[in-house]
Structure formats: C-alpha cells, structure tokens
Structure 1
Amino acid sequence: MTDARAVRFDTFGGPEVLYVTSIPMPSPGPGEVVVAVRAAGINPGESGIRTGSLEFRYTTSFPCGEGSDLAGVVTAVGPGVTAFAVGDEVLGFSWTRSSHATHTAVPVTQLIPKPPALSWEVAGALYVVACTAFAAVRAIAAEPGETVAVSAAAGGVGTLTVQLLRHRGVRVLGIASPSNRDWLEAHGAVQVSYGPDLAARLRAAAPDGIDAFIDLFGPQYVDLALELGIPKDRINTIIAFQAAERLGVMAEGSEQASTVDVLTYMAGLVADGTLEIPIAATYPLDDVAKAFAELDHRHTRGKIVLVPAP
C-alpha cells in the first residue's frame, strides 16, 4: 500500500463536515513507529473540536485530522526505536489528531503492548476513557466508604469512572437515564435520574451527604455540586473548563494522566476483568460521520469505535 486513508474536516460544523481522503503513507521519525490502526475510539471532545466549541482551548488549522485513541499493529520503526518491532500489537494515543486513519505515526512513549485478552475494539477504545476516569477519580481523592455523585454515569468515561470508584470501595450515585438503571445497579452503583429536581433526588439517595462530585457532562452539574454543598476541592469536571475556572473547581482529565504507566495500569484492570469497557457500536472508517451522529445524541452507553479495514 502506497497511501493511507484518514478522516479530515475543512470547516467547523456537524458530523457532515467529516470525510475520508487518501494521504501519503506516514513514515516514522526518530523515536516513532507507524501503526496500522485496527480500532480507534471516538470521543465527545473530538466533537467539540470539530464544532469549534473548544477552540478557546484547542486551536484548529484546516484541513484538520482527528482522533487520539488507537490500537493496531506496528508496520515500520523509526531511528532509535528498540521498544517495539514490526508486527507488534500495541495500543496508545496520538496527540496530533491522527488516529482516525488506516495508519499513523506515533512516538513510542505513547504506546504500550496490547494485552492479548483485549479485543481490538476494547483496546482501541481504551486511552481517553481510561486515563480520564483515572484522573477524575484521583482528583477528588475519594476514600472507601465515601459517597460520590457522577454525571453522565453511563457514558464512555462514566462507565469506567463508576467501576473504578466501586473498585476502590466508594458508594456511587450514577446520574443517568432510567434505561441505564440495570447496568449501573449491576455494577454496584445507585442510579439517579437526571432532570428537574435532581438535587432533591440526590439528597434522598444520600441522606448522610455527598462527599464529592465528578462531572462528565457540562457546567450545569458544576453548579449542582456547589448547590449540594460539596467543597470546591472535591468537585472535578472533565469538560466544563470555563465553569471550572470561574467557580474555582478542578478540571482534571486525560491530559493530567496521559502516561504509559497509567495506561498500563488501566489496561491491566480491563484485561483481568476487574473493569469492562462496553462497546456500544463499531463503524467502518468511511462511516465516521454516522458514528459521530450517534455519539452526538449523548445517549450512548460505553464507547463507539471506528474499525479501519486491516
């Protein structure tokens, strides 16, 4: 193969601005490898970049690629690389918006060996949700026996956040639709429906108080956490950056936990069955616009994954 194929967009907008085009086959620079991508998760943050709503934080130049999650097979190694060889199965992340493609060049410092127990879809969905959940749980410093509320508890990051909190002995109030009650309860959380009078429902579910709040959806939940009387240093949002700055709460996410050590730790918990990553749907690369249209409805349980042709 002389060319690769990659997702691009040339203007801000909805999923319809996304397209797939041929690009020169990437070549690895010093300390890099080229990965033939077998699976790459999609994330709400990528929608925010595409619409321009995150331009205040992540600037964009056109044409723009996208994608950070990835799993695949090494096809070429650059100068100085000894950690991986051609044919190795890896997972990791790109910081150059390049994983929604058939091939991408990635520094070896952003890759780990793919555990054999992980499917390609799960491995390719791991990075953003795993490192974000780890950072959010670490930020609030929850102790066993404490009660933590989590908004968007059945989403991609939410499902892992709930499980990681429960793994650490925390009581979890999972804010989600009634359709997610069975999943949340099966994973040890208390489902609390979002909507009007949510504060009253949360207080009823936790009469002894809520110790911390993790927001995975938007600024209204930062306001809610403050209304509930939760201290600012026990509130973390992964998405409401402007509200966090204005109100003085934490905003720690994947950027604060994007290390191979964290990724290895979280991959191990998924590989041994301690945690699970629900895969809501898979799409071929050419259907990237359909994949994001589904994601943008914000009712997905778990992850949506692009699966480029091998």
Structure 2
Amino acid sequence: MFQASNHSSVTEFILLGFSSDPTSNRILFIIFLLFYLCSILGNGLIIILICLDSHLHTPMYFFLSILSLMDIGNVTTTVPQMLVHLISSSKAISFEGCWLQMCAFGVLGLSECIFFVVMAYDRYVAICFPLHYTLILNWDLCVQLVVGTWTCGFFFSLIHTVFTMRLPYCGPNMINHYLCEGPSIRSLACMDTHLIEMVDFVLSIFMLLVPLSLILASYFGITLAILKIKSTQGRLKAFSTCASHITVVTLYYAPAIYIYTRPNSGHSPERGKQVTLFYNVFTALLNPVVYSLRNKDIKAAFIKVIMRNRVD
C-alpha cells in the first residue's frame, strides 16, 4: 500500500474553499479575519491574565491556559491560509504543505479532544476530593497529563496523516474544502481506499467516543457528589464550576462527532466544510467568551490588570 505512493504525480492540491465569487470571497475575508483576530485576542488574553495573576496559578487555570494555547494553534493552522486563498487568484497548496497542515490540524484537534478529559478529571477531583485537590493534582502530575495529551495527539494524528498522504494521487487535485482534511483528500486517490477508510473510521470513533465516555463518567461521579451537598447554594456553586467546561465540551464534540463518526458514503462536502468551520474557528472564538462570562476569577484578574495599568 505504501509503495503505491511512488506513482503519485500530484505535486500540489487546489483548495476550492467556500465560493468562487470574488465579491463573496472579499466579504468572507473580512468576516474570517475578524473572527481570527478575536480568537487570538481572547485566548491570548486568558493566557496573559493567568500568567500575571498569582491567584490563578492553580491546576484548573493552568489547564485553561493550555486549552487557550491549543485554540490559538488550531485556528492559526488553517485560517491564515484560508484568508490568503480568499483574496488570491491562486488557491494551491503544495503536497508537502498539505501533509504538514493535515498533521498539525490533527495533532491540535486530537490533543484538545483528549485534553477535555483532563479538564473533566480536574473538576472531578476538585468537587469529589476538595481537601486533597492540590495533593492529588500536584504540578508534576499536571505537566505529565499535558505532555501525555500532546503525545497521544501527535501519535494518532501521524497515523491518520501517513495512511492518507502515502496513497497514490495521479489524477484530479481539487479538494472541495478550505483545508487539507482526510476524507476530502482520500476521495482523490487513484486506488481503492475502502480498507483505509474503515481503519480511519474505527480510529475516529475510538478517539472521540472513548474520551467522551470518560468525561461522562467523571460527571456522573461529580453529579453524585453534588447531590450529597445539603445546601442549595453549595450545589449551585459546585455546579457553576463545571458549567463552562460542559458548554465547551458540547460545542466541540457535537460537530466533531457529526464529521468523523459517519461513513464516507454519507459525507456531504458542503455540510462538512460548514461543520468543520464551526469546531475549528467558532469554538476557538467562543471558548474565551464562555470562560470569561462565567468565571469571576478571570473577570477579577482582568479588572486588576486594568486598574494596575491606570495607576502606572
């Protein structure tokens, strides 16, 4: 299978994007540029606030800063190139560039998918074992969890990328997408990809449903712990610490499951682009909003920085 790649004659791909109309593309360029800048600003601000405020130097906010870093990487992997293609007459991407984008997008996407489990575990320990929180989630374990997440994301993304890019491409090179994405590229291969599609389908289910099952298990334990709290105020306070994470997980997993747990026979290119855009761009834009609006500590840190600058 891998030797067939020696017969590939395609040296570049054409990303068709969303529209061929120049006027529509200019409008989309402005919209996506604003989305991108807001995503970078929002996630960057969260990282800066967590670094500057010593009260936020806890495992929970350390994990939040890592999530913001992943979101910045996620949109930066795809959006700048998309913006260039929207205003350029050329929509080409080299074979190597496509390979690199697919791998980077996969690493960040899969790492974020797994990282939500880490964040759910953080909430589980905080609510179920509050007196032992810092003892269980010590800094060594936090760093190990982050490194383990990135390692798993890199490993599984590399498998996915190699399976796809080592196929022989000797015919059409137009990808009906705004990025180099597995199912869209495999449809251009000049060989039967049924077996590879099945392997990728099983891998996608494993990488999405297993982490989601662990998250649901964590929240089952959290729910049981919250129900044991006698005061209504105490229950609401405990639940509020999880609300942001639940919202972000829902925004990320719902479109990802729609895209990657369906057989390729049910794959709609136009719908796929729209849903991919949502969990690639819009979740990175919404995550800082969700955490900022529901988090008093983030608000307090922001006000503290503003007041400090005014005094200076």
Alignment TM-score, normalising by the size of structure 1: 0.25
- Structure with more helix by fraction: 2
- Structure with more strand by fraction: 1
